Amino acid sequence: MAKQPREFPAMFSIDVSSDASAPQTDGSIDANELICVLLRQLVEGQQREIKLLEEIAHSVSHHHKQRQAEIANWKEHNPDLARSCRIAAEALAKVQNQYIHNLTEEIADSRESFDSDFLLSEFVDRFGPRLSHLNGLLQVMAQLAAPNQPPAGAPQ
């Protein structure tokens, strides 16, 4: 005995005939009405997304402003140390430039040997950690040494 496919009642139907003034059958939805409902749902979804994005932007902005205020307060209470950080940042920037110069020379001299995974790994192990730590130190010193910036919207 062959199993008959199960039929489901149509939830709605769309009339795609060219005569928009033709009477509709029971249980059908006008195509224009369906489009309007779907467009309303899209707009509502976009409005929810916009609201969430605004909340995220506000949160990120709040944390950034709070961090900037903490750094400005630290600089105000430690002006000598902030000046020392500026001098250290300038010195570290020179060291970083020289280190990157040496790194690029090493790459130029050894570029053919980088086909080997072992030699490439050795190169990265040799230069990577120092460059990463140097960048981290420079970033901290530069952030602590930067001149205080007035709050957004404040007259300069």
46-57 average pLDDT score = 96
pLDDT score of 4: 58
Contact 82, 75 (CB under 8 A): yes
Does pLDDT of 111 surpass 50? yes
Read off the pLDDT band of 23 (50, 70, 90). Answer: low
Task: Name the range with the highest mean pLDDT among 7-11, 38-42, 65-69.
Answer: 38-42
pLDDT score of 114: 79
10 Å CB burial of residue 25 (0-12, 13-18, 19+) is exposed
Query: Is 23 or 108 the better-scoring residue by pLDDT?
Result: 108
Report the alpha-carbon distance of residue 53 to residue 32 in Å, rounded: 31
1: tokens are 């005995």
pLDDT score of 24: 53
Report the alpha-carbon distance of residue 78 to residue 82 in Å, rounded: 6
Q: Over pLDDT 90: what percentage of the chain?
A: 49
138-150 average pLDDT score = 79
pLDDT score of 123: 86
Read off the pLDDT band of 37 (50, 70, 90). Answer: very high
Query: Is 44 or 9 the better-scoring residue by pLDDT?
Result: 44
Look up the pTM and report it.
Answer: 0.54
- Average pLDDT value for the chain: 82
